[in-house]
Structure 1
Amino acid sequence: MLKVQQFILVSTLILMPMASIAESDHERARKAVQSGQILPLQEILQKVSKDHPGQVLEVELDQEKGGWVYEIKQLTSSGSIVKLEVDAKTGQVLKQKTKKN
């Protein structure tokens, strides 16, 4: 029983900082949307889907030197994986990489 309690305690101590990091990332993104620094993800996806249709697999929001960038990974109808870097303020596609199957 003591080993189980020790395991729970150690797990909690390890995972708590990770939860606060994720929460702070979410909070930074929310504040960036509210302050007008970036467009909401839904709006970005609507803009991108016009010229780059596909099923969204993954989205990341990064703050880089030039500003905020959404990194979007999509699966196209042909089975290719497309990675897009999108200016989070304007919705303009900055870079595109395609991995064909």
Structure 2
Amino acid sequence: MKTSRLLAIVIAGGLAGTTLLAALPASADSRLRQQEVRQLRESGKILPMEDILARARKAQPGQVVEVELERDGDRYVYEVKLIDQADKVHELKLDAGNGEVLRRKEK
């Protein structure tokens, strides 16, 4: 299955639990414009980021440090990276349409 990165969102926790979000396009070939992401969300093809983050934290407690929306074949997948209390990095892949955890890896 070919995976292409559509949109990367970097999340950095600050003081008092504040969160900074920055949307970054991936490569020129696989760019997904903000309007396209909005259309996917409004059509129900992908879940809101808030839902994905809640599901990721439930599956693996920790601080979210990076989120990417990718197209994996015919489905959209969120890749979420979290750091746990022991400073281990966990990578979760969640189905963007239903929030199911598809794969998890500790790095």
- Which TM-score applies when normalising by structure 1? 0.71
RMSD: 2.0
Tell me the CA shift for residue 82 of structure 1.
Answer: 0.6
Deviation digits for residues 15-35 of structure 1 (CA, Å, limit 9, x no counterpart): xxx7xx6x8432221111000
**Any unmatched runs of 5+ in structure 1?**
1-17
Hey, what does 1:91 align to over in structure 2?
Answer: 99
Equivalences for residues 12-91 of structure 1 within 5 A: 24-91=32-99
Tell me the CA shift for residue 51 of structure 1.
Answer: 2.2
The 8 Å contact of residues 56 and 92 in structure 2, kept in 1 or not, is answered as no
**Any unmatched runs of 5+ in structure 2?**
1-24
Q: Which has the higher strand share?
A: 2
- Greater relative contact order (Cα 8 A, min sep 6): structure 1 or 2? 2
The higher radius of gyration belongs to 1
Query: What is the total number of aligned residue pairs between the two structures?
Result: 80
Q: 1:24 to 1:87 in 2, by over 3 A?
A: closer
Q: Which runs of at least 4 in structure 1 moved beyond 4 Å after TM superposition?
A: none
Q: Secondary structure at the match of 1:42?
A: helix
Q: 1:71 to 1:98 in 2, by over 3 A?
A: same
